[in-house]
């Protein structure tokens, strides 16, 4: 471990909830990061699928800086322009009619859980409060969202968790059908599980889930916190599958690194959130929403979603070639630039080896390398990472 004063200070004073890599980042541009020693890294983590437009994008920096100099915060007791404009943009581009703004993914999911319960409460169906989410899912770390998260390790030690959550196996509509009862208010799932191991839906699965919800009246909630904003090669992942949810949550890439969460819903459901039913002091403030508007403009102007789909296909193909070449590679998974490489060995040493060679990647569920670069990533940067992985896998 290098003797770095920043690391020492951090390790002494910050809650030890994160096991960090021994590197201090000081600067970023596009898909490149520089550490305190001046070393450059090509970033295939993007702050965990956040910095879709790359680091320190000058247009976002300018928009945020202008807004900072004009107006930073007034609370949601009053109207502000950027929040209204962002909500109009998000609803125009999705199935939804209304947006609630919070400050993180977990807060967006909290809002979704509360809205689903309130919707049935308002209809007089107060017994209908149960939510079915998926095994291996990830929805956040607050008490509500960890209760909805289908991973034992995340709930452990925080019991009792919230009542009324059940976990169905992902990609198993038959079991889900048996689990839905007249107490189920919603089915909550990620269209493609990110933290759970980059697991996509089998053909027809999401349609079957939609059908089960329609049949029983349960609401369908898509957590697109990781998959949203172009990451999978469409603005929202649900657009790949011909299935629309009733409620959707967004966060990560929405403001390219500034904290924001959004819960989107159809009108007749959003109605259940009346005056005073839910709130956030910071949610949807003018600076953050200005950043998100800049992100949406840039996605459009730079035709980023087409680029992502193209780079995603290219990347997938190059990973497939590694699979053909190396026996330790079990499967290539994912969509767009949310890709996974399932290994028959532990992923952590490969992550470290990549880092030593100037590439940031990440590993989920012990043996699945996850690639979530900025969507602006270029072919030659993908080639360089593949060459690096080729060498590392060759040495195993
Ligand atoms: C990251 C993530 C969350 C939690 O977001 P936070 O901003 O960390 O609260 C929830 N759901 C999914 C699918 C995520 O990827």
Q: Angle formed by the axes of helices 286-301 and 304-325, to 10°?
A: 70
* pLDDT at res. 228: 98
Q: How far is CA 12 from the centre of its chain?
A: 30
Where does the pLDDT of residue 3 fall: very low under 50, low under 70, confident under 90, or very high at 90 and above?
Answer: confident
How far, in Å, is the centroid of ligand 1 from the Cα of 139?
6
* pLDDT at res. 352: 98
pLDDT, tens only, 355-384: 999 999 999 999 999 999 999 999 999 999
Span 33-40, average pLDDT: 97
Span 38-53, average pLDDT: 98
347 close to ligand 1 (CB < 6 Angstrom)? no
* pLDDT at res. 368: 98
Cα(104)–Cα(106) distance, rounded to whole angstroms? 5
How far, in Å, is the centroid of ligand 1 from the Cα of 335?
18
Contact at 8 Å (CB) between 143 and 199? no
Span 119-124, average pLDDT: 98
What tokens appear for 77 in the block?
């007791």
* pLDDT at res. 1: 61
**In the chain, what are the domain boundaries?**
5-56+303-394, 71-301
Name the β-bridge partners of 184. Answer: 130
156 part of the active site: no
101 part of the active site: no
252 part of the active site: yes
Which residue's structure tokens are 């699928």? Answer: 49
Contact at 8 Å (CB) between 387 and 381? no
Chosen CATH of 5-56+303-394 out of 3.30.1330.10, 3.40.50.11540, 3.40.50.1820, 3.90.1150.10? 3.90.1150.10
pTM for the full predicted model: 0.98
pLDDT, tens only, 219-248: 999 999 999 999 999 999 999 999 999 999
- Mean pLDDT rounded to a whole number for the chain: 97
Q: What percent of the chain has pLDDT over 90?
A: 99
Q: At residue 73, does pLDDT exceed 70? A: yes
Q: Hey, whose CA ends up nearest to atom 11 of ligand 1?
A: 139
**If residue 28 lies in a helix (H) or strand (E), which one and from where to where?**
strand 25-29
Q: At residue 2, does pLDDT exceed 80? A: no
43 close to ligand 1 (CB < 6 Angstrom)? no
Q: Which residues of 287-322 are buried (b: 16+ CB within 10 A; e: fewer)?
A: bbbbbbbbbbebbeeeebbebbbebbebbbebbeeb
Contact at 8 Å (CB) between 236 and 228? yes
What is the CATH architecture assignment of 71-301?
3-Layer(aba) Sandwich (3.40)
**How many degrees, rounded to 5, is the angle at CA 47 between CA 41 and CA 139?**
150
pLDDT, tens only, 288-312: 999 999 999 999 999 999 999 999 9
């Amino acid at each position: 471990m290098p003797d770095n004063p920043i690391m020492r200070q951090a390790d002494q004073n910050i809650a030890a909830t994160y096991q960090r890599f021994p590197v201090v980042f000081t600067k970023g541009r596009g898909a490149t990061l520089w550490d305190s020693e001046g070393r450059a890294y090509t970033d295939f983590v993007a702050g965990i699928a956040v910095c879709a437009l790359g680091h320190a994008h000058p247009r976002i920096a300018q928009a945020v800086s202008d807004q900072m100099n004009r107006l930073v915060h007034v609370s949601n007791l009053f109207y502000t322009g950027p929040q209204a404009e962002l909500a109009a943009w998000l609803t125009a581009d999705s199935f939804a009619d209304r947006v609630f703004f919070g400050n993180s993914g977990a807060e967006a999911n909290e809002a979704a859980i509360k809205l689903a319960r309130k919707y049935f409460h308002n209809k007089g169906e107060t017994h209908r409060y149960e939510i079915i989410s998926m095994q291996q899912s990830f929805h956040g770390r607050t008490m509500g969202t960890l209760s909805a998260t289908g991973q034992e390790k995340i709930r452990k030690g925080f019991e009792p968790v919230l009542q009324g959550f059940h976990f169905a196996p992902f990609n198993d509509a038959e079991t889900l059908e048996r689990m839905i009862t007249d107490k189920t208010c919603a089915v909550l799932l990620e269209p493609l599980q990110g933290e759970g191991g980059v697991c996509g839906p089998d053909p027809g699965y999401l349609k079957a889930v939609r059908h089960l919800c329609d049949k029983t009246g349960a609401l369908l909630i898509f957590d697109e916190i990781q998959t949203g904003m172009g990451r999978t090669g469409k603005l929202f992942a649900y657009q790949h599958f011909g299935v629309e949810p009733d409620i959707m949550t967004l966060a990560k890439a929405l403001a390219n690194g500034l904290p924001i969460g959004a819960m989107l819903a159809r009108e007749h459901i959003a109605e259940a959130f009346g005056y005073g039913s839910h709130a956030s002091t910071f949610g949807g403030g003018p600076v953050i929403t200005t950043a998100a508007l800049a992100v949406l403009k840039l996605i459009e102007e730079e035709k980023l979603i087409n680029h992502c789909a193209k780079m995603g296909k290219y990347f997938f193909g190059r990973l497939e070639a590694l699979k053909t070449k190396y026996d330790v590679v079990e499967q290539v998974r994912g969509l767009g630039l949310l890709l996974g490489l399932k290994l028959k060995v532990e992923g952590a040493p490969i992550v470290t080896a990549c880092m030593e060679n100037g590439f940031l990647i990440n590993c989920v569920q012990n043996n699945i390398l996850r690639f979530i670069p900025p969507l602006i990533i270029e072919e030659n940067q993908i080639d360089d990472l593949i060459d690096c992985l080729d060498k590392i896998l060759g040495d195993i």
